Structure 1
Amino acid sequence: MTTTDPVANLQTLIRCPSVTPAEGGALAALEAMLAPLGFAVERMVAREDGTPDVENLYARLGSDGPHLMFAGHTDVVPPGDETAWTHPPFSAVIDGTELFGRGAVDMKGGIACFVAAVARVIEKQGAPKGSLSFLITGDEEGPSINGTEKLLKWAEERGERWDACLVGEPTNPDALGDMIKIGRRGSLSGYITVEGVQGHVAYPHLADNPLRGLLQLTHALLDPPFDHGTDHFPPSNLEVTSIDTGNKAVNVIPARASAAFNIRFSDVWNEASLKAEIMRRLDGAAATGPLRSGRAPVNYTITWPERVGQVFLTRNDALISSLSAAINAVTGKQPVLSTTGGTSDARFIKNYCPVVEFGLVGQTMHKIDERVAVADLEKLTEIYQSFIESWFEHAGD
């Protein structure tokens, strides 16, 4: 196998069953690709009580700046019903014009193409004048506790510094070249519990239905809108994702009710200001509301998970323009600069250097028969190669 071939690289990686948190041989395969190219490769195991150990990889070529990082993950989601797949999910079969396998687009394909691009750069002109690194986790599809965040801190403590980062997540909605992610919305979750008084539905005056109070609170979170978006971000959007009483009896008013919600928020807000706005709405709705006329204020509590995805926007022209130009040269497209979608490990990387995301078309990620067009693997490799060459040429400008 030659590492200049993205298809062969990807087949090797897919055949490693690296379902989170298992390494599955994927990091070993990646190390075998990078070491012959001159990379110094280290594999670091991160641990935390109550969570599985996760093996991660950091590899660097070069010892001085400018320093470009490629980041991603070799872990994949479970394949689901393997009998429903056209080809076994870890067989990496090419059927016609497509390569099938779990992780084909999310995101072993991006890693395979970047390795091929680096190998081609080195074959063409030698190592870049600066440093290239791979920061690869095995915990992106899981809780993201023992992955990128800890690997970044580990590398920084060893003296690593980066000037820019490209994350190879599948960013394109329909065709290669559609979209670069230049930021991500924030993500904040909360859990509301309303205490009531249990009783018989035929005697409501002897009870206090907590669902009435909970509906008042959730309505206040849903309306009015939190904002109308900004130049780079769509409007913030809150969704109530669960309402539960634990009550299976239709003739019993429950003692308590709970709700969960998540809001994906724009750069109008930060964690502190958004929590303050949510509390303002809840307190107002608890005091008054048409569903509990004559009752005392709603007795509620709210808890917040510790991990909040912070909103961010990358404004590094050299990074964005180099990548956009490479995409245009290969595909003829002018990519949209977007902040849509869910969170990614870029939310950790942005604390260390400017970061953007660009990879394959994501239509089949996490699905049965995840697959990638073989032609897209070659095109993405060409884009990455052009980007690497351009970025190092202009990094010192």
Structure 2
Amino acid sequence: MIDDLQQDEARTASVVELAQKLIRRPSRGGIDDCGPVLAVVEDWLEDRCLPHRRLHGDAGGLVGLLVEISGGRPGAWWTLDACMDTAPYGDEGAWSFPPASGGIVDGWLLGRGAADSKLAAAMFCHIAADLAPRAEALHGGLTVLLDVDEHTGGFGGARAYLEDPHAARPAGVMIGYPGLGEVVVGGRGLWRASIAVHAPSGHSGSRRTVVGAISRAAHLVRLLDKAELPGADGVSGFPLSPKLSVTAFHGGQGFSVTPDRCDLNVDVRTTPGFDAYDAERLVREAVAALDAELPAPSPTEVTPVASWPPFRLAEAEQPAAALLGAAAAAGLTVRAKTAGPSNIGNLLAGEGIPATAGFGVPYEGLHGIDERAHLAELPTVYAVYRRAVLDLLRAG
């Protein structure tokens, strides 16, 4: 018993030490070179003789790392996924510690990526190391995916993994986003579009009245804001309603010209009862109303730019069942949650791959200032993921 306790303490200390090294390698998505942060993990994996390889995107850029532990018996493969690129720092002067600190104060691991998701990356690497010596007795296999193109919105690591002909396709994925009280088993989807609103240009001081592109675009925003969206879908049981937001508005320059173009971005969060088709129809109906009420020489253009389906796993569906069961066995009261924001689980859902998208340590400041992760719960979170993976790999 004492030996087990000492082993657990040593493992926890090792997870934290690796996470600290990762935090101290800045890896802001689209800003920093992510090679150095992956090199830290590669050195750690090489020291333990764990098989791993880099992933590259279509343009040849580095997008992730795969760790693959093959079982000795036939069966399904399962994946643990954590991103190692991070959000930007924002106003560094507003932080009470350096964003790349990696220090520990009052039981909190400090720095960008502590919560999302370098601590999870370190934990998942250790689970792979735990399983490797017993792999011959396990069914299928375990993949650890470390994505360094997640916060860009490109999810290049996940895409390269799914397109890799040498990688076993996962039966399910557990994503290491933080938060102790919930296992995220679903999320709203999204449909996004850019909209170009046109109008004749003119001088702002002219006697001739010109309804400029900005005025037309403002009217379109009002039409979109007034659009009626359905409530939560009682038939499917999906607990959230769809939502429409205008997220960008650009047009004009200076003061003396009414511009001939204004561009909008529209983000619609979708549900099983209001999907991408419904979202696009609603937006195009608002655009048609604009062009009818305030005609212009050129019609308003709608260009769809992204579409992900909503997803929601039943609590009895894997890998949700394994993770919820392992949490209950650890004495935790954890609820299954459907998230409002979309996440990488939506990308996987589009590929027909079930995923959980969150269970981890308590945290503060995610994507904001003073990001930190609480370490007291780390041994329990580690044990939950380890048990969930073992249950899946023993089942075959």
TM range (shorter): 0.7 to 0.9
The 3-state SS of whatever aligns with 2:161 is helix
Counterpart among 245, 269, 273 of residue 268 in structure 1: 273
TM-aligned CA distance change 1:352 to 1:41, over 3 Å: farther
CA deviations on 1:317-358 (whole Å, 9 max, x unpaired) are: 2321221122233353132321322x3222333315221112
Residues 1:214 and 2:217 are matched in the alignment: yes
Aligned residue pairs, count: 377
Q: 2:54 matched to which residue of 1?
A: 43
Gaps of 5+ in 1: none
Q: Which amino acid aligns with 1:356?
A: T
Q: Which amino acid aligns with 2:15?
A: P
> CA–CA distance in 2 between the matches of 1:340 and 1:272?
19
The 3-state SS of whatever aligns with 1:66 is strand
Residues 1:280 and 2:275 are matched in the alignment: no
TM-aligned CA distance change 1:254 to 1:362, over 3 Å: same
Q: Which amino acid aligns with 1:39?
A: L
TM-aligned CA distance change 1:218 to 1:299, over 3 Å: farther
Q: 2:325 matched to which residue of 1?
A: 325
Q: 2:78 matched to which residue of 1?
A: 68
Q: Which amino acid aligns with 1:261?
A: V
Q: Which amino acid aligns with 1:76?
A: T
TM-score, reference length from structure 2: 0.83
CA deviations on 1:65-103 (whole Å, 9 max, x unpaired) are: 221111121112333454554433333111121111221
**Residues 329-338 or 130-139, more deviating:** 329-338
Q: Which amino acid aligns with 1:188?
A: W
Residues 1:259 and 2:264 are matched in the alignment: yes
Q: What's the CA shift for 1:311?
A: 2.4
Identity %: 22
> CA–CA distance in 2 between the matches of 1:391 and 1:204?
74
Q: 2:120 matched to which residue of 1?
A: 110
Q: What's the CA shift for 1:40?
A: 1.8
Q: 1:58 matched to which residue of 2?
A: 66
> CA–CA distance in 1 between the matches of 2:155 and 2:385?
29
**Residues 221-230 or 202-211, more deviating:** 202-211
> CA–CA distance in 2 between the matches of 1:121 and 1:54?
27
TM-aligned CA distance change 1:204 to 1:389, over 3 Å: farther
1:221-260 aligned within 5 A: 221-230=224-233, 231-249=237-255, 253-260=258-265
Q: What's the CA shift for 1:3?
A: 5.3
Counterpart among 154, 159, 170 of residue 162 in structure 1: 170
Q: Which amino acid aligns with 1:44?
A: L
The 3-state SS of whatever aligns with 1:318 is coil
| Root mean square deviation, CA, Å | 3.0
Q: 2:6 matched to which residue of 1?
A: none
> CA–CA distance in 2 between the matches of 1:247 and 1:44?
43
TM-aligned CA distance change 1:55 to 1:236, over 3 Å: closer
Q: Does the 8 Å CA contact 1:75/1:139 hold for their aligned counterparts? A: yes
> CA–CA distance in 2 between the matches of 1:374 and 1:150?
32
**Residues 380-389 or 202-211, more deviating:** 202-211
> CA–CA distance in 2 between the matches of 1:277 and 1:147?
33
Q: What's the CA shift for 1:146?
A: 3.5
**Residues 2-11 or 70-79, more deviating:** 2-11
> CA–CA distance in 2 between the matches of 1:278 and 1:329?
47
> CA–CA distance in 1 between the matches of 2:228 and 2:270?
11
TM-aligned CA distance change 1:84 to 1:210, over 3 Å: closer
> CA–CA distance in 2 between the matches of 1:137 and 1:70?
11
Q: What's the CA shift for 1:196?
A: 2.3
The 3-state SS of whatever aligns with 2:306 is coil
Q: Does the 8 Å CA contact 1:185/1:266 hold for their aligned counterparts? A: yes
Q: Does the 8 Å CA contact 1:191/1:261 hold for their aligned counterparts? A: yes
Q: What's the CA shift for 1:121?
A: 5.2
Q: 1:15 matched to which residue of 2?
A: 24
TM-aligned CA distance change 1:382 to 1:297, over 3 Å: same
Counterpart among 29, 34, 47 of residue 40 in structure 2: 29
Q: Does the 8 Å CA contact 1:217/1:286 hold for their aligned counterparts? A: no
Residues 1:89 and 2:99 are matched in the alignment: yes
> CA–CA distance in 2 between the matches of 1:196 and 1:204?
17
Q: 1:353 matched to which residue of 2?
A: 353
Q: Which amino acid aligns with 2:120?
A: G
> CA–CA distance in 1 between the matches of 2:47 and 2:268?
46
> CA–CA distance in 1 between the matches of 2:221 and 2:151?
30
Q: Does the 8 Å CA contact 2:193/2:305 hold for their aligned counterparts? A: no
Gaps of 5+ in 2: 1-8
> CA–CA distance in 1 between the matches of 2:185 and 2:75?
23
Residues 1:365 and 2:376 are matched in the alignment: no
TM-aligned CA distance change 1:26 to 1:197, over 3 Å: closer
